[in-house]
Structure 1
Amino acid sequence: MVAGVTHYRTVKARADNDWALAASDLAAAMEADVQAGLTPFFVMATIGTTSSCAVDPVADIAAVAGAHRAWVHVDGAYAGAAAVVPEVRARWFGGLEAVDSYSFNPHKWLLTNFDCCAMWAADAGPIKEAVSLTPVYLQNTGNALDYKDWQVPLGRRFRSLKLFFVLRLYGAEKLRQYVSHHMALASHFAAHVAADPRFELAAPPRFGLVCFRLAGAPRAANEALLAAINASREQFLVHTELGGVYTLRLAVGSVWVQREHVDAAWAAVCAAADSVLAAQPAAGGNGKH
């Protein structure tokens, strides 16, 4: 948008691919652009989408984009913090060595105050060529790493200092334990959902997020469920839509959260479901609304 490119478009994710971008769909879309006389030049993939924490197949996407010499950026946003855990990094972060740039936000899940974004670039040259502006009064020997040449604004806050102190204070092992703890609690909540026939998982639980809904219930019932949960003022959930289907999201992310808090959240969900389902017509409804 900053560059004035207004005809960017989205390649839709599919349920049968766990809401991740399929490399084959990307390849078809890029080839269609070429046939239409357009030049694909930028692709953005995601590790941990906002709605469902889906993970795009980064290596496959980089291969498809590479055939068109398109720049590939990967957004790690929230889930990028999970890369501190070696086994998680091995499972979900493969292919980053093949992309042009990658970023994630330590302020979302790595105990760092807002705002803080970490970014890597395989070759910073194109970035600096695009956004650098060096009037005579800012010229230097060129030996210094000048971050004004990596961004649109001229100045920036000293964000790296707070991240430095988080790393020094907690250390790698404590950060791994912190992220792993949240992931274990999310899996614990997902197990509750999977064991209760009234509910269904709307997407595979990943990282600290669980997407779920009343199984086979109409949209209005799931809307009422969310409203009842939040009306208690003991828990707070938000919703999304996956393939047009209304879905509730439980995110484990508090610094102080423990297993008993997750169990309390599940109890609140069940109590709200009892009330909502008791008020539903016996005939049920279409769960796709």
Structure 2
Amino acid sequence: MAARLFLLLLLLLSLPASASAFELPPFKDRLFAYPGILEQRDDGDYRIVDYREMRDINGRDAVPQRRVKGNYVDTGVRRVQQDLALRTDSGPIRHFTVGRTKSARLIVVYLHGQGGSRRQGVDDFTFGGNFNRIKNLTARSGGLYLVPDFADFGHKGAAEVAALLSHYASLSPGAPVFLACGSMGGALCWRLARDERLLPRLGGLLLLGSMWDAGFIGSMPFERRLPIFIGHGSNDTVFPVEQQEAFYASVRRAAPGYPMRMVRFETGTHGTPIRMTDWREALDWMLSLP
């Protein structure tokens, strides 16, 4: 079975890249689908999802918060995973790549939060197997998944990530770049979204238990209608959900029809969106936008 998966991945990685919109191939969609919608509005752009710790952690993990049950993952994707260091003007940048490093169809980048490292974003078994899912979704679609280390969440870290993205984006000129921001990683995502060299390549931001940008309205990414997905726990004590919801509402008021979605995980805490966000649904929505 593992040999067949490896051959399938090699076949997918040999396919030509395309700049046209496409959908990510299914991968364990039933297991990672939202367990129930308690409320929705704004034509489904805002949803409250039923989250229960006993079901969504204790019932999903073999060892709660440490190791998900085996049926949630497929570790064959490790065959196309590399731990690399890229020399740039900003210094050497350690990072993982998963999938195609040249002529990728899309590039997904995960930026960790305070106290994290590049290893968090490739850990197959924590966060309910959701990082294993994005690795598989990206590799199976002929794309590239990137997870870097960086010095800080300020100018230096942003310069490092921008240098890394510039390198890989140049090797895949038709690939949209999606920035996924865990917690404080959002500080980097907002900085990168204002980089006029990078902005034209961005396909969207995914804010996972992360922060808002008080100066977003009227900014370059706002004027370009950069798609934004927000996943947030209602019991997040680091970034209060009320402020993230206020940000969502303010953007929709300022620009009706703005491509923005929010999923509130009811009773979820700070790390819940990383565990529970449906990567395929969020990215397929962004890929479908004109």
- Give the shorter-chain TM-score range: under 0.3
Q: Give TM-score, length-normalised by structure 2.
A: 0.28
**Richer in helix (by share):** 1
Q: Which has the higher contact order (CA 8 A, sep 6+)?
A: 2
TM-score by length of 1: 0.28
Higher Rg: 1
Query: Which of the pair is proportionally richer in strand?
Result: 2
